[in-house]
Amino acid sequence: MTEATTGAIRGTDKPGFDRRLLPPMMLGSVLNPINSTIISVALVPIGVALGAPASQTAWLVSALYLATSLGQPVVGRLIDLFGPRKLFLLSTALVGLAGVVGTLAPNLGVLIVARVLLGFGTCAGYPAAMALLRSEAERTGRDSPGGVLTALAVANQTVAVVGPLLGGVLIAVGGWRATFALNVPLAVAAVLLGLLRLPRPAGTDRPAPRGRLTAQLDLPGMALFAALLLFLMNLHLRNWYLLVIAVAAGGAFAARELRAATPFIDLRVLGGNRPLLATYGRALVAYVVAYAFLYGFSQWTEEGFGLTPFHAGLVQIPMFLMAIGVSVVSGRRPGVRGKLLVGAVGQIVACLVMLTLSGRSPLWTLLLVALVFGIPQGLNNLALQNSVYFQADPERTASSAGLLRTFAYIGSMVASSATAASFGRRVDTGGMHHLAWVMLGAGVLYLLLTVFDRTLGRATTPTAQ
């Protein structure tokens, strides 16, 4: 532990949360959302520079989410076993390497490799933060303060929505390669903060797991899960054979995980924790809506409406302001059910407004859509994060948090595939409307999953301390 932490333990007063952990926690947790969102305004310039249509540049999105979907449960489980420090340092260093590869990439293939590295490199930040929250709660004997959870949510919301604007600025100044180069200084800062502030676990706190590490990682389960995701990355009727592969892989994956001593995804835990499983389902469909908007709407504002990447980022400023305001106001209020219901309605309303847009719509209507989307953007992630914190087994906080991100990234992959299928080789208003119908269907499903979940009343936001 840090010196301040040790002093707090020895003191007579009841210790509080070690606020020095906040900078590495927040920076580590935002590395993934910043790379998820900044690419939204870079897809069109990259396609132009490398001669790739929207259906091919969509792999820059899917590749990151495939790597992250595989990596989050693994890294989360390793954090549960070994503690957050080592995994945080290794992963954030990989982010810096990915930034160098992406900046120097000569073609789309190498760029996709860089995004895969980013996916694996950004896996540790969020599970490490949730593990630190849990360990601090155990150390202090007090529940983790609501302000800390809100700070994490606000940081992720801020980066998620500022990402497109930041991407537009970087592209205007240094071209699309600058969006990859940004990862180098971010990774250096994260590694330094991790070295200086993350506690070193005591030898008795993290005993070495028995058996080979490969057995702990369940490599066959990971391979079957990757095959299961193939269909989600290629949503199109002509790829019907991938559905057959996905169904077969899904059956084999379930059989494997139910028998494995250390499963990649512990289906037995999910089966015995229905509230947590429902939360994961909501995360999946919520991210279908959120990221279809982020990627599809951003591309349409550039190609279908004629904005530059910088101005396409500016259009999403109302969403940034609304999301931050909603997160701050609602962050310390108890209960998650109300947040989820309002977020669901906000998604549906925003999708309906999208269906009214065309290339001749006034600019204020684009700003209106972004403003409305800010409401679910500010509520859903916060409520889902709080739900997992209270529904998860305390011994599996990091892996449960990682699994939340896995389901969210599966939703993001569906969104990317739906965007590619809706637009094809040309981003136009008809394709945007097709995508809006897909988003509307996911939004309605999200609402139904919330309305009929009676367990949400028992999940509350922790009180501020």
The one-letter amino acid code at 298 reads: S
Give me 227's structure tokens. Answer: 């095959």
Give the pLDDT confidence of 361-414 residue by residue, as tens digits.
999 999 999 999 989 988 887 788 778 777 777 666 666 776 787 788 788 888
Give me 102's structure tokens. Answer: 């992406």
Computed over its alpha carbons, how large is the radius of gyration of the chain?
21
Give the integer Cα–Cα distance in Å for 177 and 155. 24
Residue 110 has a pLDDT of 94
Residue 204 has a pLDDT of 41
Residue 464 has a pLDDT of 40
Give the integer Cα–Cα distance in Å for 248 and 242. 10
Return the residue matching tokens 């520079």: 49
DSSP state of 39: G
Residue 68 has a pLDDT of 83
Residues counted in the chain: 465
Read off φ and ψ for residue 202, nearest 5 degrees: -65, 150
Give the residue from 89, 149, 100, 40 showing the smallest Cα distance to 401: 149
User: How far, CA to CA in Å, does 385 sit from each of 127, 135, 152, 156?
Assistant: 11, 17, 9, 11
Residue 4 has a pLDDT of 43
Give the pLDDT confidence of 283-334 residue by residue, as tens digits.
999 999 988 998 889 889 988 888 888 888 888 888 878 888 887 787 667 6
**Inter-residue contact 69 to 98 (CB < 8 Å):** no
Residues in contact with 429: Cβ distance below 8 Å, sequence separation at least 6, in sequence order: 300, 304, 357, 358, 359
**Inter-residue contact 229 to 68 (CB < 8 Å):** no
The one-letter amino acid code at 95 reads: V
For the chain, residues with pLDDT lower than 70 are 1-17, 138, 140-147, 149-150, 153, 157-158, 161, 201-217, 230-240, 242-243, 266-272, 331-332, 334, 394-399, 402, 457-465
Q: Which residues in 100-118 are b (16+ Cβ under 10 Å) and which e?
A: bbbbebeebeebbebbbbb
**Domains (range + CATH), the chain:** 19-200+213-218+260-458 (1.20.1250.20)
Residue 2 has a pLDDT of 42
